[in-house]
Structure 1
Amino acid sequence: MTLTSPDAGTQRLCRSWLLTARREDLAHFRRLASLSMREWRQPPHVTEVVLHGVTELLSNVARHVADPRCTLELCHLGEAVLVTVHDRSSALPKITLPDWTAEEGRGLWLLREMADDLGYALTEDGKQVWVRVGSAASEPV
């Protein structure tokens, strides 16, 4: 799907999937995201963060949301790639300094450190959580 953004006529390429978040399906959605990154000619460092975002956001729905039906959306916005997950829970994520000895609880913190932006907002039927990864900058050294 190709959409034209109202701001400056920028092309916006998007992929969207309605799904039930289950840990056993994460590899499938990582592959779909990887194919999109290849099609959109994104560099390896962008692809790495996008795939981490897909994994983390869908894992959190599978782990923390009673109704794991959600929407995964990837959009290429010209100078950035946006990963967004819409789910049916109004419980907002908590991003705290992780306990490095714990077996879980550091995914969103790491993702926030890797990405250019991470945010969330309540919607009428739950919330959306997103990660934005800039694609215009050169690869980190």
Structure 2
Amino acid sequence: MTLIGQDAGTQRLSHSWALTARREDLAHFRRLASLAMREWGQPSSVAEVVLHGVTELLSNVARHVEDPRCTLELTLVGGGVLVTVHDRSPVLPVITLPDWTAEEGRGLWLLREMADDLGYAGAEGGKRVWVRVAGEAPDA
């Protein structure tokens, strides 16, 4: 589903997809996010962090949530991009200093270091996890 802001003409302000998080589908959602970044005129530095966020948040649902149905949302907010994943688990993520010798467990920590904001909160029926990347406002 794509939402269009009335005050912005045809400029899409948000993209939202209901999906089942599976590792084999990550490339597809990265492509969709990449198209949104181009549509919004975001520089490659913003797109890179957004794509990393999409991959990490959906990977975590696929890996850690029993019911991997979720919603991925990309929203243009104040010239920046907000990536949000709503999933069906009430268990909030724990971000700790990673063990650099381990094969996993450092994704959210790295994402937090790359992005302008990373957060999470309980929500009805599960939780939402988000990452915000400051960007550039689209051309008027």
What TM-score, normalized by structure 2, do the two folds share? 0.90
The gaps in structure 1 that reach 5 residues or longer are 6-10
Give the aligned residue type for 2:62: A
Q: What SS does the aligned partner of 2:109 have? A: helix
Q: CA RMSD in A?
A: 1.6
Q: Which residue of 2 aligns with 1:8?
A: none
- 1:70 touches 1:85 (CA, 8 Å); kept in 2? yes
Q: Which of 2, 5, 17 lines up with 2:4 in the alignment?
A: 2
Distance 2:83 2:113 in 1: 15
Distance 1:75 1:88 in 2: 21
Q: Which residue of 2 aligns with 1:89?
A: 89
Name the stretch that deviates more: 128-137 or 104-113: 128-137
Distance 1:12 1:89 in 2: 29
Q: In the superposition, relative to structure 1, how do residues 41 and 117 fare at CA in structure 2: closer, same or farther (>3 Å)?
A: same
Q: What SS does the aligned partner of 1:33 have? A: helix
What TM-score, normalized by structure 1, do the two folds share? 0.89
Q: Percent identity?
A: 78
How far off its partner does 1:2 sit?
A: 1.9
Distance 1:133 1:12 in 2: 17
Distance 1:66 1:3 in 2: 35
Give the aligned residue type for 2:20: T
Distance 2:12 2:134 in 1: 14
Q: C-alpha deviations, 1:12-33, integer Å up to 9, x for none?
A: 7000000000000000000000
Distance 2:52 2:114 in 1: 9
Give the alignment of 1:1-141 within 5 angstroms: 1-3=3-5, 13-136=13-136
The gaps in structure 2 that reach 5 residues or longer are none
